[in-house]
């Protein structure tokens, strides 16, 4: 069968199980838009290329299958690349396919010519430029394998326009993935068994894949670390104390990096071993220690329950938690101090946060991808007002594709995380430049066709959330913008 390069890409992706392609159009990739029709790929056409990559990222984290982002060459690619940073740190499998100036014009000053693979290389597990239509199926297969295998991550493939248009005798399009195997190293088993207070600390990918089963089987507490705040991860309570008590630690697909104070988070005589994978069915630890760890991680200062201030993030979270009491709920947290409070106070069966990259802005694209991955699920994104501005226009995308997520904006009219640094480091008299306006983001969302609520007084929050929930049922995304106090992130 003779096919265009673009058809080979689209059909290879479809054969691997891709259904959605997160994209922003451009001259270089229009052949792939055309090919998507016959390959049965649904395009989700966003408003900024970084949003497409963030969506592919959340898709990858939630489903384990690489999310696919498709953008145009030059400036489209440059816009997309920033979002790879978040995915790389979160070890999220995704493939960024970028159009590219034609091979036969390179070096002559082609339209939007740029060394795209070089630009993406530091932010991807692998990054290269396709050289011919004949090898495109192999390129897609390699990208898929690289994205998924070992510690997953983003992969970039640039595809020159003349390669997309070339018609060639198509090779076989399907490919097989060998399942990842977890090793059961006897040394690690013995090390964990010898400990009185052993811990497994898992990186983001290992936490999503198999870590819970390991804890169930062995009884050794497994702690996932995916927060840029490291030992001060607001969703892990008294993690710092637990780390100091451990006498054996297995770092599972995880470096002793800044999140673990480069190893100083552990006691001096703690034995630290590491492995990319580890699995065993053997019981290695008694339950008492696991219960202690569990209690420490779920600890929240009792004083929080006494917080009566009605515009405090704790009060907002109390109302939102009711919406998450469903087996299908997905919680997205993003932003500075408000995002930290949301992580500390809210829980749901599935969670996507901005992650170790510490980058803000991805919440709305994350929520959209979560809603696509789980169409019936209740998806709630909690984000700060500064953060909302990054991808506000993705509300429009959610309206067009009928992705009924709820976005709750904690609006303190400040880039508060940075403002709090100014207060601590330079004093109140020198805190400047981080103010925002109490903008009515609910009205902005409504203008784009979503359900929007602007909540100036806490007493209106319950009603606003109820109306927003009703709108979700009608297939509309909703944005509840609630004015809150400027408070520092939670401390334990
Ligand atoms: C991409 C990116 N740019 C800037 C920052 C620095 N930063 C972290 S939190 C924050 C403030 C966020 O403000 P907002 O979303 O309103 O949350 P708040 O802290 O006010 O609750 C900023 C600017 C970052 N982490 N990532
Ligand atoms: Mg703010």
Give residue 1's pLDDT band: very low, low, confident or very high (50, 70, 90). confident
Expressed in angstroms and rounded, the spacing between residue 260 Cα and the centre of ligand 1 is 22
Say yes or no to pLDDT of 206 above 90.
yes
pLDDT tens for 395-409 read 999 999 999 999 999
Say yes or no to pLDDT of 165 above 90.
yes
Ligand nearest to the backbone CA of 336: 1
Give residue 179's pLDDT band: very low, low, confident or very high (50, 70, 90). confident
Range list of β-strands (E), 170-282: 198-202, 222-224, 248-252, 271-275
Expressed in angstroms and rounded, the spacing between residue 441 Cα and the centre of ligand 2 is 12
Block residue for tokens 């770092």: 251
Asked whether 50 lines ligand 1 (CB < 6 A), one says no
What was the pLDDT predicted at 174? Answer: 77
Asked whether 389 lines ligand 1 (CB < 6 A), one says no
Q: Are 361 and 313 in contact (CB under 8 A)?
A: no
Asked whether 420 lines ligand 1 (CB < 6 A), one says no
Say yes or no to pLDDT of 325 above 80.
yes
Say yes or no to pLDDT of 25 above 80.
yes
Q: Which atom of ligand 1 is nearest to the CA of 313?
A: 21
Expressed in angstroms and rounded, the spacing between residue 216 Cα and the centre of ligand 1 is 37
- In this prediction, residues 445-452 reach a mean pLDDT of 98
Give residue 118's pLDDT band: very low, low, confident or very high (50, 70, 90). very high
> Which are the contacts of 351, defined by CB distance < 8 A and separation ≥ 6?
330, 331, 332, 333
Percent of the chain with pLDDT over 90: 94
Say yes or no to pLDDT of 307 above 90.
no
Expressed in angstroms and rounded, the spacing between residue 44 Cα and the centre of ligand 2 is 29
- In this prediction, residues 314-323 reach a mean pLDDT of 96
Q: Which atom of ligand 1 is nearest to the CA of 334?
A: 15
Say yes or no to pLDDT of 17 above 80.
yes
> Which are the contacts of 482, defined by CB distance < 8 A and separation ≥ 6?
311, 316, 408, 409, 410, 411, 455, 458, 461, 464
Residue-level length of the chain: 492
Q: Are 478 and 472 in contact (CB under 8 A)?
A: yes
Question: CA 331, CA 381: separation in Å to the nearest integer?
Answer: 6
- In this prediction, residues 75-88 reach a mean pLDDT of 98
pLDDT tens for 250-306 read 999 999 999 999 999 999 999 999 999 999 999 999 889 999 999 999 999 999 988
Asked whether 412 lines ligand 1 (CB < 6 A), one says yes
Say yes or no to pLDDT of 178 above 90.
no
Expressed in angstroms and rounded, the spacing between residue 384 Cα and the centre of ligand 1 is 8
- In this prediction, residues 54-82 reach a mean pLDDT of 98
Say yes or no to pLDDT of 481 above 90.
yes
Closest C-alpha residue for ligand 1 atom 19: 336
| C-alpha triplet 32, 39, 62: angle, nearest 5° | 90
Higher pLDDT, 183 or 443: 443
Q: Which atom of ligand 1 is nearest to the CA of 383?
A: 15
Ligand nearest to the backbone CA of 387: 1
Q: Are 298 and 236 in contact (CB under 8 A)?
A: no
Q: For ligand 1, pick from 48, 336, 341 the residue to mutate: most ligand atoms within 8 Å of CB.
A: 336
What was the pLDDT predicted at 245? Answer: 97
Expressed in angstroms and rounded, the spacing between residue 480 Cα and the centre of ligand 1 is 19
What was the pLDDT predicted at 455? Answer: 97
Asked whether 485 lines ligand 1 (CB < 6 A), one says no
- Supply the mean pLDDT for the chain: 96
Which tokens is 198 given?
């052993």
Question: CA 212, CA 44: separation in Å to the nearest integer?
Answer: 33
Asked whether 490 lines ligand 1 (CB < 6 A), one says no
Q: How far is CA 100 from CA 82, 111, 228, in A?
A: 18, 9, 34
Closest C-alpha residue for ligand 1 atom 24: 359
What was the pLDDT predicted at 492? Answer: 87
Expressed in angstroms and rounded, the spacing between residue 233 Cα and the centre of ligand 2 is 19
Ramachandran bin of 333, using left for φ above 0, alpha for ψ from -120 to 50, beta for the remaining angles: beta
For residue 482, give the H/E element and its range: strand 478-483
- In this prediction, residues 117-134 reach a mean pLDDT of 98
What was the pLDDT predicted at 119? Answer: 98
- In this prediction, residues 452-481 reach a mean pLDDT of 97
């Amino acid at each position: 069968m003779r096919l265009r390069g673009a058809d080979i890409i689209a059909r290879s992706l479809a054969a691997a199980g891709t259904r959605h392609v997160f994209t922003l159009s451009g001259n270089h990739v229009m052949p792939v838009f055309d090919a998507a029709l016959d390959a049965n790929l649904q395009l989700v056409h966003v408003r900024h290329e970084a949003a497409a990559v963030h969506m592919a990222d959340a898709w990858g984290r939630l489903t384990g299958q690489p999310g696919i982002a498709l953008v145009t060459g030059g400036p489209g690619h440059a816009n997309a690349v920033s979002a790879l940073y978040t995915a790389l740190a979160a070890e999220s499998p995704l493939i960024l396919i970028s159009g590219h100036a034609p091979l036969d014009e390179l070096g002559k000053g082609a339209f939007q010519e740029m060394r795209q693979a070089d630009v993406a290389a530091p932010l991807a597990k692998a990054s290269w430029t396709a050289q011919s239509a004949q090898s495109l199926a192999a390129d897609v297969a390699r990208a898929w394998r690289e994205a998924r295998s070992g510690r997953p991550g983003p992969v970039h493939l640039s595809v020159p326009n003349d390669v997309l248009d070339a018609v060639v005798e198509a090779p076989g399009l399907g490919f097989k993935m060998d399942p990842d195997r977890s090793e059961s190293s006897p040394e690690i088993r013995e090390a964990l068994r010898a400990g009185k207070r052993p811990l497994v600390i898992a990186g983001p990918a290992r936490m999503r894949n198999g870590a819970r089963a390991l804890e169930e089987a062995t009884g050794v507490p497994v702690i996932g670390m995916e927060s840029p705040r490291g030992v001060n991860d607001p969703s892990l309570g008294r993690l710092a104390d637990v780390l100091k008590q451990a006498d054996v630690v297995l770092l599972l697909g995880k470096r002793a990096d800044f999140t673990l104070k480069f190893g100083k988070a552990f006691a001096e005589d703690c034995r630290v071993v590491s492995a990319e994978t580890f699995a065993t069915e053997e019981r290695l630890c008694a339950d008492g220690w696991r219960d202690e760890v569990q209690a420490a991680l779920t600890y929240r200062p009792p004083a929080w329950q006494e917080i009566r201030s009605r515009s405090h993030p704790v009060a907002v979270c109390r109302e939102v938690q009711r919406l998450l009491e469903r087996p299908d709920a997905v919680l997205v947290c993003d932003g500075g101090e408000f995002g930290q409070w949301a992580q500390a106070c809210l829980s749901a069966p599935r969670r996507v946060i901005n992650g170790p990259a510490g980058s803000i802005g991805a919440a709305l694209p994350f929520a959209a991808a979560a809603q696509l991955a789980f169409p019936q699920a209740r998806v709630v994104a909690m984000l700060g007002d500064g953060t909302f501005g990054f991808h506000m226009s993705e509300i429009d995308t959610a309206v067009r594709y009928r992705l009924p997520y709820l976005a709750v904006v904690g609006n303190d009219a400040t880039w508060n995380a940075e403002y709090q640094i100014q207060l601590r480091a330079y004093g109140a008299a020198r805190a400047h430049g981080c103010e925002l306006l109490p903008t009515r983001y609910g009205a902005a969302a409504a203008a784009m066709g979503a359900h929007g609520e602007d909540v100036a007084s806490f007493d209106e929050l319950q009603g606003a959330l109820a109306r927003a929930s009703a709108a979700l049922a009608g297939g509309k995304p909703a944005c509840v913008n609630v004015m809150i106090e400027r408070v520092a992130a939670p401390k334990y």
